């Protein structure tokens, strides 16, 4: 009896705090199987497509203000090492009239502005192999540690977001500033975003920046999206380039949809034959509101001095093709369950 009481007391010590807190457990299990060609060789792979597990919650502090937190981890369903708190993980304050401010690891406003326009998110056909690409290790469509982010409440259907990032806390001059304005009303969405990086660890006075605009329109069963991006840099490797993304989705029925996307990357630093294009097509079938099975084909065409790969947001993706003028491609089928 004494052992049972002690065990019950110990269990209660762990369970009670969780039961008292306003905590939500959520996540996504997403895996695919298929053929991936790096431009030279094909391999059959099982891939984890940005599967994740998260905990988030809030505490009412009164006067319309709440303390909020989120801890989200990357889960690799196909093996390898999962990353605790490697995705958006932060603590902050939220007020319905004033907005939300969080500190920790978070998606940049630049990234958030147009992520919802990608019709193949978190798969090997994700457009971030060509969009948001930077000369440094700090991609513009990034998730940054040491970040402080403010998001306003919607005002006349417009939301403003601003972020500051200490890219290297040992080097105070290595920082990033990210800004975005997002509009959503009925069938129309639009966004504009700007981000700049100061990177003295790369070279003295080195800077890079990016600007993009995007929008989407839904009419009954059909959705069209577009994003245009222009990056620039100074005192680095001159990776200035532009990128364009066009996508469409047609709901064949309440449970089925076909979709297609086209992405192009322009000349890098004005160099000849550094352009590339990507074409993706896919089919989704919803088994329920939370479970979808899908099939997709994606193919990158690199010019003679380009070597773009397939999105690493899938573990089956490849950062680069095996060499310039190679054409990586993939055909996969997968299943996604959200909870």
The answer to whether residue 289 sits within a structural domain is yes
Q: pTM, whole model, 2 decimals?
A: 0.90
In the numeric block, which tokens belong to residue 34? 């298929």
pLDDT computed for residue 79 by the predictor: 86
Q: What CATH number does the domain containing 187 carry?
A: 2.40.160.10
Q: Would residue 7 count as lying in a domain? A: no
Q: Give the contacts of 183 (CB within 8 A, at least 6 positions apart).
A: 157, 158, 159, 189, 190, 191
Answer whether residue 12 shows pLDDT above 50: no
Total domains in the chain come to 1
> What SS3 state is found at 242?
strand
Could you tell me if residue 244 is inside a domain?
yes
Tokens matching residue 298: 């994606």
% of the chain exceeding 70 in pLDDT: 91
Taking CA atoms, 103 is separated from 49, 107, 141, in Å, by 27, 11, 18
Q: Does the residue 223 lie in any domain?
A: yes
- For tokens 């290595």, name the residue: 174
H-helix or E-strand containing 231?
A: strand 222-234
Which residue is listed with tokens 């093709």? Answer: 321
- Provide the β-strand partners of residue 115: none
Residue 171 confidence (pLDDT): 77
Q: How many CB atoms lie within 10 A of CB 239?
A: 17
Q: Identify whether 41 is part of a domain.
A: yes
Instruction: Look at 19-23, 47-51, 86-90, 333-337 and tell me which has the smallest mean pLDDT.
Output: 19-23
Q: What is the pLDDT of residue 132?
A: 87
The verdict on residue 8 lying in a domain is: no
Whether 118 maps to a domain, the answer reads yes
Q: Is residue 35 part of a domain?
A: yes
User: Domain of 190?
Assistant: 25-338
Is 29 exposed, middle or buried (CB count within 10 Å of its CB: 0-12, 13-18, 19+)?
A: middle
Q: Sign of torsion, CA 204 180 210 142?
A: positive
Quote the pLDDT of residue 35: 97
Per-residue pLDDT averaged across 230-257, rounded? 88
């Amino acid at each position: 009896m004494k052992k049972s009481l002690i065990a019950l007391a110990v269990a209660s010590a762990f369970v009670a705090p969780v039961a008292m807190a306003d905590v939500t457990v959520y996540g996504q299990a997403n895996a695919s199987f298929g053929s991936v060609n790096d431009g030279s060789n094909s391999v059959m792979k099982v891939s984890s497509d940005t599967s994740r597990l998260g905990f988030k919650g809030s505490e009412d502090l009164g006067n319309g203000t709440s303390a909020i937190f989120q801890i989200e981890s990357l889960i690799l369903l196909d093996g390898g090492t999962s990353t605790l708190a490697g995705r958006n993980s932060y603590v902050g304050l939220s007020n319905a009239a004033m907005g939300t401010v969080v500190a920790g690891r978070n998606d940049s406003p630049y990234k958030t502005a147009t992520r919802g326009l990608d019709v193949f998110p978190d798969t090997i056909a994700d457009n971030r192999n060509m969009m948001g690409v930077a000369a440094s290790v700090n991609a513009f469509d990034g998730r940054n540690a040491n970040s402080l982010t403010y998001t306003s409440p919607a005002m006349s259907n417009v939301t403003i977001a601003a972020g500051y990032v200490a890219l290297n806390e040992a080097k105070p001059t290595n920082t990033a500033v990210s800004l975005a304005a997002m509009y959503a009303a009925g069938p129309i969405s639009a966004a504009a975003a700007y981000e700049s990086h100061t990177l003295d660890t790369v070279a003295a006075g080195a800077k890079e920046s990016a600007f993009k605009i995007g929008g989407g329109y839904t009419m009954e069963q059909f959705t069209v999206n577009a994003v245009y991006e222009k990056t620039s840099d100074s005192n680095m490797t001159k990776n200035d380039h532009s990128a364009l993304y066009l996508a469409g989705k047609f709901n064949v029925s309440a449970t089925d949809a076909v979709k297609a996307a086209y992405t192009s990357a322009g000349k890098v630093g004005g160099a000849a034959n550094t352009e590339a294009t990507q074409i993706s097509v896919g089919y989704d079938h919803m088994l329920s509101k939370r479970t979808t099975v899908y099939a997709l084909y994606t193919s990158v065409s690199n010019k003679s001095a380009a070597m773009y790969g397939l999105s690493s947001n899938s573990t089956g993706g490849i950062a680069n093709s095996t060499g310039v003028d190679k054409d990586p491609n993939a055909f996969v089928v997968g299943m996604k369950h959200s909870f």
